[in-house]
Structure 1
Amino acid sequence: MARQLRPVGLDFVETAPLRLVFAREVSASPEAVYRALAEEVAEWPRWFSAVTLARPLEGGARREIRLKGGTRFLETVVAAEPGAVYAYRVDRTNAPGVRALLEEWRVVGVPGGARVQWTFAADGAALFRVGLKAGRAGLGRAFRDAVGALDRRLASAPRA
Structure 2
Amino acid sequence: MTHRLRPVGLDFVETAPVRLVFAREMTAAPDAVFRALAEDVPGWPRWFSAVASARATEDGREIRLRGGTRFEESVLAANAPEVYAYRVDVTNVPGPRAWIEEWRLSPAGNGTRVRMTFAIDGTAPFRFLFGLARAGTGRAFRDAVRTLDRHLAG
Fold shared, TM-score > 0.5 on shorter chain: yes
1:100 partner letter:
A
CA distance in 2, matches of 1:9, 1:55: 22
Structure 2 match to 1:87: 85
Deviation at 1:68, TM superposition (A): 1.0
Structure 1 match to 2:129: 131
Q: How does 1:77-116 map to 2 (within 5 A)?
A: 77-116=75-114
CA distance in 2, matches of 1:4, 1:75: 11
Deviation at 1:67, TM superposition (A): 0.4
2:14 partner letter:
E
CA distance in 2, matches of 1:85, 1:34: 8
CA-to-aligned-CA distance 1:83-136 (integer Å, 9 cap, x gap): 100000000000011000000000101112000010000000011011011110
CA distance in 1, matches of 2:38, 2:2: 24
Alignment partner of 1:66 is 2:64 = yes
The ranges of structure 1 where at least 4 consecutive aligned residues each deviate by more than 2 angstroms after the TM superposition are none
Structure 1 match to 2:32: 32
1:151 partner letter:
D
In the alignment of these two chains, the number of paired residues is 154
Which secondary structure does the structure 2 equivalent of 1:108 belong to?
strand
CA distance in 2, matches of 1:96, 1:2: 8
2:34 partner letter:
Y
Q: Which runs of 5+ in 2 are unaligned?
A: none
TM-score, reference length from structure 1? 0.95
CA-to-aligned-CA distance 1:29-60 (integer Å, 9 cap, x gap): 000000000000100000000000110011xx
Which secondary structure does the structure 1 equivalent of 2:131 belong to?
helix
2:10 partner letter:
L
Deviation at 1:65, TM superposition (A): 0.3
Sequence identity, in percent? 65
TM-score, reference length from structure 2? 0.99
Q: Which runs of 5+ in 1 are unaligned?
A: none
